[in-house]
Amino acid sequence: MAIQVGQTAPDFTLRDTEKNKVTLSEQRGKNVVLLFFPLAFTDTCTKELCMIRDNMAAYNNVNAVVYGISVDSLFSLGKFKAEQQYNFTLLSDFNKTASKAYDSLYEHFYNDMDGVSKRSAFVIDKEGIVRYAEVLENASEIPDLNAIMQCLDQINN
């Protein structure tokens, strides 16, 4: 079922590229941006995440923590993060639990790859409530980063 604005964000625990566990509910007290993306090292994913990297100061200014999430292994995400010099955390949803919980999983994807994260964005406020939800069916599109920032501005004031 699609995630709705106003509902409590589904909790999850995933590993980051340093092999640390990150649990969403432990981020309470912070604004959180979740960016699900299909695959590391692909053109649109790299473009999207580089846009976030290059504008990280704006996210910091609204007290937002950004997590990029894909079904890639934490090892490939680590290489991707280092290569692109991302300044935010990438999380491996290798077992697809978070992608399923956020209704952000392509059943069938390009070249017979099943179970790849849909490109999607969620803003979760300090109380753990979803304040913005965008799930894209077309993987070549990028979430509305301006709308995400507007949402963060609103919940930060």
The string of pLDDT tens digits covering residues 106-148 is: 776 666 666 788 899 999 999 999 999 999 988 788 999 999 9
Task: Please give the average per-residue pLDDT across 21-37, as a whole number.
Answer: 96
* 45 has catalytic annotation: yes
Cα distances from 31 to residues 128, 138, 140, in angstroms, run: 8, 27, 27
Taking the domain 13-156, which CATH number applies? 3.40.30.10
Residue among 83, 77, 85, 79 nearest 35 (CA) = 77
Element (H, E) at 152: helix 145-156
Average of per-residue pLDDT values in the chain:
92
One of 24, 45, 74, 98 is an active-site residue; which one? Answer: 45
Q: Quick: pLDDT tens for 7-19.
A: 999 999 999 999 9
